[in-house]
Structure 1
Amino acid sequence: MKEIYVAATTTGGLEDQVSSVFGRAPTFTVVEVENGKILGASVMDNPFQNVAGGAGIRAAQLIAEKRPRAVFAGNFGPNVSEILAGIGIDMVPVSGITVRQAVEDYLAGKLEPFVPSQMPFGRGMGGRWGGFPGAGPAFPGSETEDVASLRERLSRLERELSEVKRKLAELKGGE
């Protein structure tokens, strides 16, 4: 049996929504899966949701100790992706659907993990490069950087959408 950790928006559980953020999600739904099926789920509070800095790194370290098959969230920062990818945990970018739907889609091959080289780089939600206490003052971001980051994300999502459309057309052609 393997576990999948899903960042959730509120109290967690299979019917909660997948959070758009990883490190500051209030809870993680721990979904037990085997042979392509959901066997059960439990909820783990995120003790790092409200820390001043380094929430993503700390949450990633906590989850990495559990060695799940995959972790789901809308976005993973570069430090989080380095920790999780470093030990072979799949990071699956998804949000706006229920935990149950996300896990079912993943098990059915409809959602694919990010390869770390595809991850956008930038600051975590804590606003610090490095994201840990003592990392120094918050990096003075600019509106131009935020726009560039959003454009990069849009470009990545457009490529991803194009790939999904291609796969869908390929599957429809085989019917």
Structure 2
Amino acid sequence: MRIAVAGMGAGGLDDTVSPVFWASPSFTLVDAEDREILAVRIIVNPTDCVPGGAAADRFARDLAGRGVDAVIAGEFGPEETRVFSAAGTGMYRLQDMPVRDAAKQFLNLAADTVRVVGRGTVPTGYVTRTPGRQRRAGGGPR
């Protein structure tokens, strides 16, 4: 499983999760298996993402093209929501914590309560976003 976590700084497991996807200067790619982090790579956001901008759309497509199963950030804009939804990539809202803790929280919940949707995985306790409304994974509208 590959997770991309939006970071507020230079990236890495000690960085802090960004409150918004489009304003993240870096993303930490976490490759994991059986709740264990196997590898970490940092991707510097090559664009100046702005809300409603094409740059966020391009970078979301880049992450989806890297085989990312899930993306973690505080909030997602409409462009990246559309791209990730079309790619079957799960979007999970977590913030105000180190990237390491967000990845571990995702992996620990995902390991116990995962159902497959498209090519991504959706832990049933997380809130996912779809264009126009929020849905609780495994349940009805929130």
CA contact (8 A) 1:90 1:113 kept: no
Structure 2 distance, partners of 1:113, 1:66, is: 23
Structure with greater strand share of residues: 2
SS of the aligned residue for 2:109 comes to coil
Q: Which has the higher contact order (CA 8 A, sep 6+)?
A: 2
- Higher Cα Rg: structure 1 or 2? 1
Please report how far the alpha carbon of residue 51 of structure 1 lies from its aligned counterpart in structure 2 after TM superposition.
6.7
The one-character-per-residue Cα deviations of 1:118-157 (angstroms, maximum 9, x if unpaired) are 07xxxxxxxxxxxxxxxxxxxxxxxxxxxxxxxxxxxxxx
Could you state the TM-score of these two structures normalised by the residue count of structure 2?
A: 0.76
* TM-score (structure 1 length as normaliser): 0.62
**Structure 2: gaps spanning 5 or more residues:** 111-124, 136-141
**Whole-Å separation in 2 of the counterparts to 1:88 and 1:108:** 21
Partner of 1:63: 63
Moved over 4 A (4+): none
What is the CA-CA distance between 1:113 and the residue it aligns to? 4.6
Match of 1:118 in 2: 134
Q: Among the aligned pairs, what percent are the same residue? A: 34
Q: How many aligned positions are there? A: 120
In structure 1, what is the equivalent of residue 101 of structure 2? 101
Shift of 1:49: 2.7
Distance of aligned partners of 1:56 and 1:100 in 2 relative to their CA distance in 1, 3 Å threshold: same
Structure 2 counterpart of 1:79: 79
Q: CA RMSD in A?
A: 2.3
Cα contact 1:24–1:55 (8 A) shared by 2: no
